[in-house]
Structure 1
Amino acid sequence: MEYWRNNEDRDAQEVKVEAIVLSRDAEEIALLELLAEKAFDALYDQHKKAIYKLNEQQRSGYEKLRLATAKPQEVPWHLPASINFTRKPTDTLW
């Protein structure tokens, strides 16, 4: 979409053809993926403190994006605020 926006003043058909040709070039795709990964990592690093403060459901969306890569990524581990359970009076106390 960014390529499309940057070339909006040109012939639409020509821009579509260029996008198709570039998408079939393995080296260009690899470069594009590398640039996208670096941009995502930079944004994640910039906002990771705010992401950490989100509730678990909101945070999991960002973690799914972070883990959608071929290379392993570090994801902070979060303990739940509380664990709900019940204990019978006859249960052993540890």
Structure 2
Amino acid sequence: MGDNQDASIKVVLENGKLLLVRCPDEKTICEFTLDDLAEIIEFRYATPWNKSKDILEKLAIIINDIVDAYANIPERPPAKDDLMRAVKLRMSYSEKET
């Protein structure tokens, strides 16, 4: 990381990409697509590329659903169990409340 040894790195999943982001300046220092990650899984664990990519795409959708549920209800975040149920049933958290 060069001259800034005190900087930490955060992993961010955004728009189907895994980003390595340097803190505190929030500069993206590396980006991996789902294809990149599927290729790593394929070779590291002898898992077919198409199966790996399918699982990663589903994971990205689920993570986005979880983030959306928390972001859209800031005044009263859902409990983990309620959120998991809503995501499993593909409901928005606000639909669950009605």
Q: TM-score, normalised by structure 1?
A: 0.31
Higher RCO, 1 vs 2 (CA within 8 Å, ≥6 residues apart)? 2
Structure number with higher strand proportion: 2
Q: Which structure's residues are more often helix, by fraction?
A: 1
Q: TM-score by structure 2 length? A: 0.30
Q: Which has the larger radius of gyration?
A: 1
